[in-house]
Structure 1
Amino acid sequence: MTRVECLYRVSTKGQVDHDDIPMQRIECRKFAEQQGWNIIKELCEKGVSGFKISADDRDAIQELREDAMNQRFDVLLVFMFDRLGRRDDETPFVVEWFAKQGIRIFSVKEGEQKFESHTDSLINYIRYWQSEGESRKTSMRIKTRLDQMRGEGLYTGGTPRYGYRAVEKGRRNKKDKPVKDLEICPEEAAVVKEIFERTVYEGAGSFILATELSARGVRTHHGAQFNVSTINKILRDRQYLGYLITQDITSPHLPELQIIDEALFNAAQEITEQRKTQNAAWRNIPRQNCSGVLLGGNLYCAACGSRMTSSSPGEGAKRPYAEYICYMGANHRIACSGQKAYVAKRVDDLVLRVTGMLLNTIQDTPKDESIEKRVLAEVKDLERQLADTRKQADEAAKAQEALEMEVSRCLMGQSQFTAEMLSKLIEQAAQKHKALNHTAAELEQKLADQKKIADGVQTYYDRFLGWSMEFGMASLARKRIIIAQLFKRIELDRGYNLHFEVDWNYEQFIDSVNVKGKQGITAVGITLPPKVRPKAGKTAKASQTAKNGRKRKAEPISA
């Protein structure tokens, strides 16, 4: 009796729920009974796409191949041929392979697929070419509709991101079946907020956060422990701002799904971007925030320019205190004439004094003075320069046009210019016109950049003002992260002389602060009032003379 193996396949879960496989089984069994065949094996594939998944990755196809090579059956029976697959560059050859093994291929609806002539092979290919086309069109229609739904802010399925859960809220699809929507999960949202806040306010690293959350028994939606990758993925995800995001589709803002405010999110992006290995050369944020000292990432040796590291005393250490070390100089990696080690506490105390003085100045400064007089004035100046340059470019264009019109008169001998002179003048006018247009384009770009800066000034001003209010009572971890963002670079030299370079985003406010009575803020850094800055190398007598009224030049801060 003819031995038959059957393959049943459905590509979606919906077809499984609607009993498509039992329907295929009933029809195949009825067909085999009519032919007098004996079904010896039935293979089922549930939720397997014949278009997206290769035959090499389908267990059922591989099992059929093995049985065919071992001559365990005579006929391969399917409900329709597209149950074998829908790929025009693969499925026709899979079917032909079975035929070459001596297996007859039958479909309940389409009969037998033979390979007795060239026409049979062509029909076999055309069948799967058409099936793939149908799959592509179906896929395109479904994707378009799903994109439309996501663009409208509707949840379309999939595992919700951490911090959310899918629940039924009464929405129904076109088949009147209930569908789910997203809502914030309060317990998980608290964890998400903790991750963002500790990253921004304490500078906590992804490894520390993942370790602590796992130790507390916090798990992901898949029941796994948190790891560095999980933390970084959460920190980069804009959905926590209140958007549904899938690939290149972003929904309108959905306030009911917002967990993190934009200012906190942007601050987290600044920190995570600096901590990337490829950005090590310009980062000023410490990669770790658990060293017990104040500075990390933005402290440099003034003598050789290399980044300094910190060391904490271990058990039995010769020096029972933390130090800042010029690692490159101390290990003779480069020539360094500076001091190799500094007591961390002395450096930290000086930095705290400077930072406190700097932040206190902003509290008495009106917003208008900090923002309008500084940034908006630069915008107006660029607008004026651009208008003048455009006017000059127009005049140069008219002058060039007038000289070009003089050419015809020159040819008729009616011009006061010779041909050689006129050619030279036209070339000069064209070069001037081109140069002015180039200058105008540069000014347009500068103006656009300055306007962009002006739009972000309010954010930086509010952040700067907030720092000034919290700095005095902040923890060491919080102070460390504030200093790392405020100072782009701090240079440390012999005698504990410090030089500060303020990040430009905050320097614009400092320049507008009234620093009368203080030795102030310059283009290169900050110095403290003379009374707290004894000049390095001076004798006690010289210092006393200075105290009695002799004027001195501003010097870097020293201990």
Structure 2
Amino acid sequence: MPTPDKGGEKADQWGDAWQLHKIYRDTESGTHMNRPGLEEMLYDAEAQAFDTLLVFRVDRLSRKVRDLAQMVDELTKNGVTLKSITEPFDTSNPAGKLMLQMLGVFAEFEHATIVERTKVGMEKKAKGGNFVGGSVPYGYQLDPEKGGLVVHEEEALIVRKMFKMYALGMEGASAICNQLNDAGYRNRNGRKWGRRVVLYMLKNPVYVGKIRWREVLYEGQHEPLVSEVLFEKANDVLQERHEDLKGRQWHNGDERLLTGVIKCARCNSHMFGGGGCKKGVHVPYYVCSKRFNDHDCEQDYVRADLLESAITEDIKAMFRDEQFMARVWEEANKQLGAEKPNLEREIEKVEAQAAKTQAALDRYFEAFEAGTLKAELCNEKVRDLRTRIEELASEKRDLQARRERLELPAIDRDMLSALVDNFEQVMAEAPNPQKKELLRRLVKKVVVHDRRTIEVWYGLPNCRRIENWGKWLPK
């Protein structure tokens, strides 16, 4: 799916070697999946209109790793191989699929970097007192010409009513909701008012002419709906009543990089990210879920930050080791070589079925010519057998194509260098969800035996047993 200018020209150069089915073009970003060109391509792939999809870069398909992985799975099911003009991978083999998944993580990180630059522009806008976007606060509407906030008089009356009722201290948030709902007032979506919405509005400084950006307040260009005195009075009452938007906050472990792959060897339970305070400093650990929930396991805690750092450095060292990566490529080729005999047997089996079906078709023709088979029955049988012959022919072509593609490219120094650079950049700068996604592609499982032995199994053909990790345990 190349872009019209850059990708299309390069795709034409590949067209000399391949039979071109169609060029799919999209002008929209790879952030979204509902794009006409992409949808047309996926429809044609499902119909098996082509067997290879050539893109300029994988991020032209999608910048989200999950969407990209699902798309490749669908393409693979339909017998379609994904290739890139500018990136060295081929999804017809395991190493290519691994490379694709990592490139997807890098693309998502690049997109996140662009988003961060956009946020810098939004901060500049907020400092100027301008509305930075998002949902327009109730009580305001957007100026169609200038794009700023202007008062929506009907809604503003309700906002002022809320503040006055609450600031008097006679009505709580729930009582205010009930009064508004009983009086027939509805929110902007036509629904009844809820307690959390009212509390959020009472705490929102936009109503005193402020713009909030990342917890910093700036003087806004818009007209305030309530006075500073009324706003402060309402928030004083909020503190006195201890009414808060937040409920109980439970630690869910999502921010730890190895959740989902790290397990306790003693009880075979998953370990999750937890934490404790030591001298006022939060220290992250991996904790056995059975020990935490049932107190029925004696597994030690493991320092999460140190374990993650050690595994990251281990992977960097492997990527920098050209001899090791060459062995990885060699092992992958061996595995692919082992697949070839199976493919040959499958092709022979399909050929035998096709020959048997063709023989049956010939017998029906002979019976029809001899007058022992009626035309209607003959037509029905012939139609079914021809359909089966076409299916077998298609299956044979797919198997032959797989056999031809069972080759890995030679190890390439430039590719290894780029792999290391991208990995280090993501692990140093990307948000935790992207780091976690990348590690999940490379680390299959982590098994904690005891305070001395932790086993790390990589997706690459290598297993490391890391010993003497007692320093990672809480003192």
Q: TM-score range by the shorter chain?
A: 0.3 to 0.5
How high is the TM-score relative to the length of structure 2?
0.40
